[in-house]
A and B are shown apart, each in its own frame.
Chain A
Amino acid sequence: MKRTFASIFRKEMIHIFRDVQSLFMVLTMPILMLLLYGYAITLDMKGIDIAIIDQSHSPESRSLVEHISSTDFFRITARDVPVDSVSRLFNSRTVRCVLVIPQDYARELVAAPGPQVQLLVDASDPNAANFINNYVGRVISEENVRLSGHSPVLFNVSPRIFYNPDMRSADFFVPGLIGLILILISSLLTSIAIVREKETGTMEQLLVSPIKPLQLILGKVLPYTMLGFIDGVLILVVGSLWFNVPITGSLVLVLTMMLIYVVTGISLGILVSTLAKNQAIAMLAAVMLTILPTVMMSGFIFPIASMPKALQYVAAIVPATYFMEIIRGIVLKGNTLANLYQPAGILLAMDVLLIVLATRLFRVRLE
């Protein structure tokens, strides 16, 4: 019936315009997100950390180095480190690539076939590896032109791929997906946990009892932690059996890190749950605080180094950023705890902070 439809339509409009809070969110959030993520979403890479090992120390080699540092593709983070430290540099994610200029560079420039400049690339992120190859190639050809005035290629670069020898996207994305799915599920599940008690009214009953907020919160966190962890293991198993993602590092380490990360998601969910008025808001908040930042800003797809400085700071408070480093490090590079204590420590600190906050903000009265 047309009239019935019109009635319902009119009523909904009234509801919408009278709910100022939701209206505000609906109109301003997209703009905010557009600005935020618009800048974050960039596939171009800039400021790629590179180590230059200049064994030649000649004016010619310095010119090459000069060229490289003058582009904004690369940022020279290490110079003239010993060649055998390359593994360590890659492991600690200090650099993504290394350019080795041989001792005979200057001499060989004038003789065919030209010097053997080596480019070592961390291909755990195969897309980044491709970019690096391309950029280096570009720089090299420009340098070539500059040196010889025309095109004969005086020297070339032989890339050596570290990690992920077949440059498979799956190996890069699947661990990342684990990070996304884990935080989504763990925070979503728990975000409704406390709010549900508020909505059904059981919270009122619970409050008038000897229970302490911390007991209530921990009691709720633990079951979901177990569930989330099982989820993580499942994904890992499927990832490795079905997608053939190799697990280069220690399995125990992977599992431990996953546990810490799941707790982060859960603690975030509990915090949301403590503050939200009803389940709908709780879920919405959980999704906005987990999916979007994880997909856009954690380095899941878009490189953090390419983002504006301000956004890089934002990325620094996204838990997934650290987990991405950790899981890719272990799975693809065989990182050990020694390499990962920093991001792991940060995640652990986040866990503690979130739980403390949730406990503090938990309202013991009904108003």
Chain B
Amino acid sequence: MNPIEVHGLHKRYGQVDAVRDVSFSVEEANIFGLIGPDGGGKTTVIRSIVSLLSFDAGEVLFQGKAVDKNVDYVRSHVGYMPQRFSLYQDLTVAENLRFFADLFNVPRNELGPRVEQLYEFSSLAPFKDRRAGALSGGMKQKLALSCMLVHQPSVIVLDEPTFGVDPVSRNDFWQILKTLAARGTTVLVSTAYMDEALLCDKVALVFKGRILAADAPQLLRTRFEEQLYLAATDAPHIVYAALQKSSLCGECELFGDGVHFTLANGATEADVARALADRGTAFSGIRLIDPGLEDLFLKLMKEQQE
């Protein structure tokens, strides 16, 4: 029995299908990522799992129990960190922790040791008397996480916990998540950052309410079946414009390091190189590259939009 199982989830708001036929399972002690842009349905899926939203069709199981019929159980046992994670700004770090401990009926005698552990975990000890409102973004995140962990849930669900946070803090945060998973906690997390997808054990690409693909990140990349090339350049938009105009490319996408493209039928690398040189477009070389998750996502998104 997987800690979280979703089968055929369907949620509609008025005329709009926010979530369509979504199914996935999160295995124990795994980190499962819901990856995708805002408005794609990640938050709706997550809220349905923690019983904050009812759904129109499908089944959601939390530790084997149907979520819609066991609301109290879910809410007492899951660790949830909502998108606008909310700490009480005018309470100190210590007071916030104490509040959440009390909220979840953490036994009095265990409160001390758990808080100590959390401080070590999050390096927040020197700030324990500082008001939450005065913490930096990265620290607030860690505090929110600590508050969620104080009742030692075995399953945690986080909705875009690293939103708007700089790469260093994001990195720290994900290290913490990995440590938690290594200790046996099951983690379901959503994010719009593609690079975080690589840190998950399994990933589902969510777009317009549907799951485009779901698997371990390394396996997902192999789903990009065609050969992918990179035309490296300092001015990617110029190369992009040039390639778009030519009929040599199948797919063609802008990237920071240049343009990723596939070849159209019958075209070769050399053809492309020549076409670029003929136009006087500067580029530093063409080579084969391994497709990344973003390449796959772009491809699947475009397919879905047709």
Contact = CB atoms under 8 A, between A and B. Distances in A.
Interface of A: 200-211, 364-367
Contact of B80 (A203, A208, A365): A208
A93 B82 CA distance: 57
Which 9 A-B residue pairs are closest in the complex by CB-CB distance?
Answer: A202-B86, A201-B84, A210-B76, A208-B80, A201-B86, A204-B82, A366-B52, A209-B103, A205-B86
B86 A200 contact: yes
A237 to B, nearest CB: 31
| Interface residue tally on B, bucketed by range | 20 to 34
A291 B39 CA distance: 43
A197 to B, nearest CB: 8
B254 interface: no
Given A208-B78, A210-B75, A202 B88 contact: yes
Contacts of A204: 52, 82, 84, 86
Given A200-B86, A205-B82, A366-B47, A210 B105 contact: yes
Contact of B75 (A203, A209, A367): A209
B54 interface: yes
Interface of B is mostly: loop
Nearest to A216: B103
A54 to B, nearest CB: 69
A208 B85 contact: no
Given A210-B75, A211-B103, A366 B53 contact: yes
B118 to A, nearest CB: 17
Interface string B37-69: 000000000010011111000000000000000
A203 B82 CA distance: 10
Nearest to A202: B86
B71 interface: yes
A210 B104 contact: yes
Contact of B51 (A200, A201, A203, A208): A208
Nearest to B72: A210
Count chain A CB atoms within 10 A of each CB in B80, B82, B104 and give the residue with the most.
B82
Nearest to A197: B86
B103 to A, nearest CB: 5
Interface string B132-147: 0000000000000000
B54 A209 contact: no
A365 B52 CA distance: 5
User: Interface centre among A204, A205, A206, A365, by most B CB within 10 Å?
Assistant: A205
Interface string B96-131: 000010011100000000000000000000000000
A138 B198 CA distance: 95
Contact of A206 (B50, B53, B81, B103): B103
Contacts of A208: 50-52, 74-75, 78, 80, 82
Contacts of A365: 51-54
Nearest to B103: A209
B80 A205 contact: yes
B82 A209 contact: no
Identify which of A201, A208, A367 gathers the most chain B CB atoms within 10 Å of its CB.
A208
Contacts of B105: 210
Nearest to B79: A208
A212 B200 CA distance: 35
A204 B158 CA distance: 13
Interface string B178-194: 00000000000000000
Contacts of B47: 366
Given A208-B82, A210-B104, A211-B103, 16 more contacts: A200-B86, A201-B84, A201-B85, A201-B86, A202-B87, A204-B82, A204-B86, A207-B52, A208-B51, A209-B100, A209-B103, A209-B104, A210-B76, A210-B103, A365-B54, A367-B53
Contacts of A203: 86
Contacts of A202: 86-88
Nearest to A209: B103
Given A201-B84, A202-B86, A209-B103, A367 B76 contact: no
A200 B82 CA distance: 12
B97 to A, nearest CB: 14
A208 B82 CA distance: 10
A197 B227 CA distance: 52
Contacts of B104: 209-210
A79 B71 CA distance: 64
Contacts of B52: 204, 207-208, 365-366
Nearest to B144: A205
Nearest to A204: B82
A203 B88 CA distance: 11
Contacts of B54: 365, 367
A98 B51 CA distance: 66
A367 B51 CA distance: 11
Interface in B10-26: none
Contacts of B85: 201, 205
Nearest to B75: A208
Nearest to B89: A200
A201 B87 CA distance: 9
Nearest to A201: B84
Contacts of B78: 208
Nearest to B80: A208
A209 B76 contact: yes
A338 to B, nearest CB: 44
A365 B47 CA distance: 10
Nearest to A366: B52
Nearest to A367: B53
A208 B85 CA distance: 12
